[in-house]
Amino acid sequence: MKRVKEEPNMETKFSVIDEKNIDKEAIAQAGQILKEGGLVAFPTETVYGLGGDALNKESSRKIYAAKGRPSDNPLIVHIAELDKLEAIVQEIPESAKKLAKEYWPGPLTMILKKSQLVPMETTGGLQTVAVRMPNHQVALELIKAAGGYVAAPSANTSGKPSPTLACFVKEDMDGRIDMILDGGQVGIGLESTIVDLTEEMPIILRPGYVTKEMLEKTLGIPVASDRTMMHADCKEAPKAPGMKYRHYAPKGDLTIITGEEQSVVERINCLTKSMREKGEKVGIIGTDETIAKYHADSVKSAGNRKEEETIARELYRILREFDDEGITVIYSEGFAEDGIGQAIMNRLLKAAGHHVENV
Ligand code: AMP
Ligand code: MG
């Protein structure tokens, strides 16, 4: 699929903005840029988004170019008010109403049948549209100022980890977009859960903070998961086009080691020793519980196993830091595949190209 990444050719404005005391002028300026077809990166509660007017096909084209994203990988349309949903979809199923009531604004994206209003450029040629209402005051104000519909994928160069801080957006997007709104570190750190509501049974296409169990509880019916989410051996194409691309990839060669804690620590130390002898620069992703037990060029704790939210928040930052440190080989501990752990494991598995060793 066509992938064009244009050279940086513009000046990018950078504006620090406080969610609790929003600078109305900065929002008005950013909203105007979006209305005129420009691009603005902004914080959400999941990761930073790269926004453009979702109803302007030229803006969507610019988003693909700035990210170097394949143009068959559809964008999520962000709204700030529920009554804006009707115009961009053919119908709002009961399930969508229930989920919106429970989880919006929040880290849940719903796939619905699109209306004529949404250009094919925004949906990557699909007849469906992904919609979300983010839970971040800056994002909500910006969407309103832009006219109500902001297409926003994560604000990273395609293939790199999603940005959880504005400095990472700057690293990837400086000179390629009109403005960056710096709202500090994001709260969740992993992208939204995506649920497809266009078929009889709801199906999760990407795991996130809102889990299968939570969706089932709200809907009162079973919810399926796209099998390709966690299995490398799956021959089917993922239903979310973006999930087929190797995402979140650090420069170093990443392997996940799973198993009982002591065996994992021993195996990682053993692998690290032999790789360092071969001249590799090794980074390890451990947890607060284990990092003191590791010896490598760079050892980082992703957070506390008892609070997996901390791991979700730090994971992408760590992967980017290893890139900056010139790490060539990375070993990571595995995480439980339930709750937010499933989303963490899904992103790690993709970053590792499904390279896992169980000890
Ligand atoms: P990002 O915006 O970078 O978080 O990526 C958006 C994700 O949503 C990608 O994996 C897309 O493939 C997926 N997506 C967006 N729109 C649709 C859609 N209409 N149907 C299925 N997946 C979608
Ligand atoms: Mg992304």
pLDDT tens digits for the chain (359 residues)? 556 666 778 999 999 999 999 999 999 999 999 999 999 999 999 999 999 999 999 999 999 999 998 888 999 999 999 999 999 999 999 999 999 999 999 999 999 999 999 999 999 999 999 999 999 999 999 999 999 999 999 999 998 899 999 999 999 999 999 999 999 999 999 999 999 999 999 999 999 999 999 999 999 999 999 877 767 665 666 777 766 666 678 899 999 999 999 999 999 999 999 999 999 999 999 999 999 999 999 999 999 999 989 999 999 999 999 999 999 999 999 998 888 899 999 999 989 999 999 99
Look at residues 146, 172, 192 and tell me which one is the last residue of a structural domain.
192
Provide the domain limits for residue 282: 253-358
Answer positive or negative: Cα dihedral of 57, 63, 68, 74.
negative
111 within ligand 1 shell (Cβ under 6 A)? yes
Residue 66 lies in a domain: yes
Specify the ligand 1 atom closest to the Cα of 49: 2
**What backbone torsions phi and psi does residue 347 show, to the nearest 5 degrees?**
-70, -40
Specify the ligand 1 atom closest to the Cα of 109: 8
DSSP 309-326: HHHHHHHHHHHHHHHHTT
The residue to which tokens 């109803």 are assigned: 55
Return the pLDDT at 320: 94
Q: Which ligand has the shortest distance to the CA of 127?
A: 1
Residue 228 lies in a domain: no
Residue 2 lies in a domain: no
Residue 211 CB: number of other CB atoms within 10 A?
Answer: 19
76 within ligand 1 shell (Cβ under 6 A)? yes
Residue 218 lies in a domain: no
Q: Is there a single domain that holds both residue 266 and residue 179?
A: no
70 within ligand 1 shell (Cβ under 6 A)? no
Q: Is there a single domain that holds both residue 348 and residue 270?
A: yes
Which residues fall within 8 angstroms of residue 22, CB to CB, at 6 or more apart? 137, 138, 141
Residue 342 lies in a domain: yes
Specify the ligand 1 atom closest to the Cα of 152: 2
Residue with CA nearest ligand 1 atom 10: 242
Q: Is there a single domain that holds both residue 167 and residue 299?
A: no
Can you tell me whether residue 69 is helix, strand or coil? coil
| DSSP run (H or E) holding 180 | strand 179-182
Measured in angstroms, how far is the CA atom of residue 247 from the centroid of ligand 1? 12
242 within ligand 1 shell (Cβ under 6 A)? yes
243 within ligand 1 shell (Cβ under 6 A)? yes
CATH number of the CATH domain containing 285: 3.40.50.11030
Return the pLDDT at 247: 65
**What backbone torsions phi and psi does residue 151 show, to the nearest 5 degrees?**
-80, 125
Provide the number of structural domains found in the chain: 2
Look at residues 175, 192, 209 and tell me which one is the last residue of a structural domain.
192
153 within ligand 1 shell (Cβ under 6 A)? yes
Specify the ligand 1 atom closest to the Cα of 128: 19
Q: Is there a single domain that holds both residue 134 and residue 279?
A: no
Give which of 70, 69, 65 is closest to 6, Cα–Cα. 65
Return the pLDDT at 78: 98
Measured in angstroms, how far is the CA atom of residue 290 from the centroid of ligand 2? 30
Q: Is there a single domain that holds both residue 286 and residue 179?
A: no
Using one digit for the tens of pLDDT, what is the confidence trace for 297-344? 999 999 999 998 999 999 999 999 999 999 999 999 999 888 889 999
Residue 62 lies in a domain: yes
190 within ligand 1 shell (Cβ under 6 A)? no
Return the pLDDT at 3: 60
Measured in angstroms, how far is the CA atom of residue 186 from the centroid of ligand 2? 15
CATH number of the CATH domain containing 128: 3.90.870.10
198 within ligand 1 shell (Cβ under 6 A)? no
